[in-house]
Copies of this chain bind each other. A is one copy, B any other.
Amino acid sequence: MGALGDEEFRAEVRAFIAAELPSDMASRTLLGYHPHKPDVEFWTAKLDKRGWAALNWPVEYGGTGWSITKRHIFDEECYLAGCPAVNPQAFHLVGPIIYAIGNEAQKNFFLPKIRSGEHFWAQGFSEPNAGSDLAALQTRAVREDDEYIVNGQKIWTSEAQYCDWVFCLVRTSTEGRKQAGISFLLVDLKAPGITIRPIIGIEGGHVLNEVFFEDVRVPVANRIGEENEGWTYAKQLLGAERTFSAVVPRCKGLAVRTRAIASRDGSKGRGKLIDDPHFARRLAQLEIELMAHEATLARVVAEEEAGVNQHSPTPSILKVKGTELLQKLGALAIEALGDSAIPDYPEADYLLDPPNDAPGAPAAYGVVSDFLYHRSATIYGGANEVQRNIIAAQLLRA
């Protein structure tokens, strides 16, 4: 459904992708495995050359200046075509904070390196005892002249193992409410005193990490905004990306893939699973839910552009609904695979050079892995329980 119109623009995006995206990269991405760094670097550079890397940034910082509608179309086309996703922490999280709050030196140094793909960024927010209750964080930064000495630990740091920088919330004061006394620092991941320990996910992949800081020296010049005001900046950042957390393109891709899986000959006895009315209607049900969800996103986008209805708890709704749909679709995809879901399909073997006697079915590659990985979707970025707290708080304020 082209709920957002603008078919001309859509065609331009398609043509660009068709011309520039190598097919092996596309198939790797479409299978739903974790991003492959060389692919992301390659594609970020291509986008940057065309001026399309920082699609959510204002033109003055090298962004596209596109309307949210256009960005959504672009995202959707990229997703469905299998373009590698640019480093999201850089483009969606720290980038906008740097251009909104950062000083000139920070903007000039960091923003171009994000756009070109030279700097990959990680997010250092959560700590072992500060998950849903993020403000309870304890990593300390003590000022010594023009440096902070940072000690502590971050956890659930996505992709830290191949990132260059990490933006952190650190405690610079223990006075007052716990939300006060937090500062926002940009830290070079190659700095001495940083140790990265991988956390392997239940899908077997390495996305998450623990990051340990032992007397890490960070120039005061790398602090964003004022000391002890980091919580305010972080909240701004977490609320901003409505569209990103709605995972609409990913859900659409999964619905299409599920239909394809269920349409294989012999997927149910001697027939096709998709011809089983019960299965077909459960898939249709999810497609309808997805249609309503996508329309909600489009409506929020339209409201945002028009500057109306700003106090509705819609970002949380988009996150809750999108991630729950993603999990439901994943479960239906596995059901459609049936026994073919069972083998563990290790990434490298199957993608780059699948053996001739490979067990299972190519239709299954990556489906279970993606499903297992996305159990985290209802947990990260503010667990869905926290999102429901936020929705209720907005609805029930007197």
Interface residues of A (CB under 8 A from B): 276-278, 281
Contact = CB atoms under 8 A, between A and B. Distances in A.
Nearest to A282: B278
A97 to B, nearest CB: 40
SS class, residues of chain A in contact with chain B: helix
Contacts of A278: 277-278, 281
Number of copies of this protein chain within its complex: 2
Contacts of A281: 278
A272 to B, nearest CB: 14
A277 B279 CA distance: 10
Contacts of A277: 276-278
5 contacts: A276-B277, A277-B277, A277-B278, A278-B278, A278-B281
A262 to B, nearest CB: 15
Nearest to A285: B278
Contacts of A276: 277
A276 B278 CA distance: 9
A7 to B, nearest CB: 35
Nearest to A280: B278
A286 to B, nearest CB: 14
A276 B277 CA distance: 8
A309 B276 CA distance: 43
Nearest to A284: B278
A91 to B, nearest CB: 42
A277 B280 CA distance: 11
A135 to B, nearest CB: 26
A281 B281 CA distance: 12
